[in-house]
Amino acid sequence: MTFAVKPIATGRLPQLLSQMPKAELHIHIEGSLEPELIFALAERNRMEIAYRTVEELRAAYAFTDLQSFLDIYYAGASVLIQAQDFYDMAMAYFARAAADHVVHAELFFDPQTHTARGISMETVIDGLHRACVDAQKRYGISALLIMCFLRHLSEQEAFETLEQAMPWRDRITGIGLDSGEVGNPPEKFAKVFARCRELGFRLVAHAGEEGPPAYVWTALDVLKVERIDHGVQSVKDRLLMERLARDQIALTVCPLSNLKLCVFPDLASHNLGKLLDAGIAATVNSDDPAYFGGYMNDNFLQTFAAIGLDTEQAYRLARNSFEASFIDDAARRRHLDHLQGCFDAFASPA
Ligand code: ADE
Ligand code: ZN
């Protein structure tokens, strides 16, 4: 791939990473719930929580794998009761995203985590949708919603969730698949994804986070998803790497998440550079930033420092984020032009 912009002094890389416009394509909005907000919402909703202080709660964020995180993450989400709670959570995320020069965000949400507690689909979507509208007004961030099915539950329950969401069909752009991966392969959801496809939803799925390359293959070939969330295990399968590169299937990679969930022993061992070298359309994302110690720019800055990526790779990652997003072509063109302008400005003598 050719470098579309002029050389930029390496010393300016951190500033460039921070200020370049970017899209976030992999953020579980419930994973943006900071401990302070968990406590504030618990108080507002007159709920007891199992920790006495913010510090005590934060100290519990020592994960050994995906499941050890999910247990705490679902417990944290239990303070979300009213539409206003969902709104406040999402607006807090948008404030952080705006500070990181995120100009477009695609938000995952997990309705089954809430409907199982008696919270209505309407409450969830009302709060999140209102926040997406206000993100545009307050921060100039375009935002859309991707509804995820929890893969540890049954396909029948996914169908029921889809049915419950249909009155708000126009507020949901895409469908995703998340939660505990190993033992819950994509093909478990073949029928419900086929139905979502017929209904015109855009499709994505978590695959190859902890699970094997075989799950990435079936996410692509059985579920027919357009992007793979995580996908870092794909490097174990040469043919899969060739397929991802040939078809330019975007991977929404989340380096700090992978670090905190022990997918890699340290950030220096992360394979983001290998994915880019193989010609794969990787992107950088935050996943569950309140739990993993960093939002978008933390992910960029720490990963670039740890594995020694350069300005060309910064450009490709930001460009990939717009290419792989579900925005329309006019907006995509506008964002790519701004990206180019940003790199050109950094290339000129200071
Ligand atoms: N739900 C929230 N974060 C997740 C992750 N990293 N993997 C799977 N499901 C999730
Ligand atoms: Zn995720």
Interval 159-177: pLDDT, tens: 999 999 999 999 999 999 9
Q: Does the pLDDT of residue 1 top 70, yes or no? A: no
Q: Does the pLDDT of residue 2 top 60, yes or no? A: no
- Where are the chain's structural domains? 10-32+83-346
Collapse the DSSP code of 339 into the 3-class scheme (helix H, G, I; strand E, B; otherwise coil) and give the result.
Answer: helix
Q: Is 209 tagged catalytic?
A: yes
Q: How far does CA 106 lie from the centroid of its chain?
A: 7
Q: Are 218 and 186 in contact (CB under 8 A)?
A: yes
Q: Does the pLDDT of residue 7 top 90, yes or no? A: no
Q: What is the mean pLDDT of residues 118-138?
A: 98
Identify the residue whose C-alpha is closest to ligand 1 atom 1: 179
Q: Are 32 and 290 in contact (CB under 8 A)?
A: yes
- Reported as a single tens digit per residue, the pLDDT across 248-306 is 999 999 999 999 999 999 999 999 999 999 999 999 999 999 999 999 999 999 999 99
For residue 349, report the distance from its CA to the centre of ligand 1, in Å.
43
What's the chain's average pLDDT?
Answer: 97
For residue 337, report the distance from its CA to the centre of ligand 1, in Å.
32
Sign of CA dihedral 267, 30, 168, 186: positive
Give percent of the chain with pLDDT exceeding 90.
96
Pocket probe mutation, ligand 1, options 25, 32, 70, 204, max atoms within 8 Å of Cβ: 70
- Reported as a single tens digit per residue, the pLDDT across 87-127 is 999 999 999 999 999 999 999 999 999 999 999 999 999 99
Q: What is the pTM of this model?
A: 0.98
Neighbours of 40 (CB within 10 A): 14
For residue 310, report the distance from its CA to the centre of ligand 1, in Å.
28
Which one is catalytic: 30, 34, 106, 209?
A: 209
pLDDT number for residue 288: 98
Q: What is the mean pLDDT of residues 68-91?
A: 97
Between 3.40.50.720, 3.20.20.140, 3.40.1280.10, 3.20.20.100, what CATH number should domain 10-32+83-346 receive? 3.20.20.140
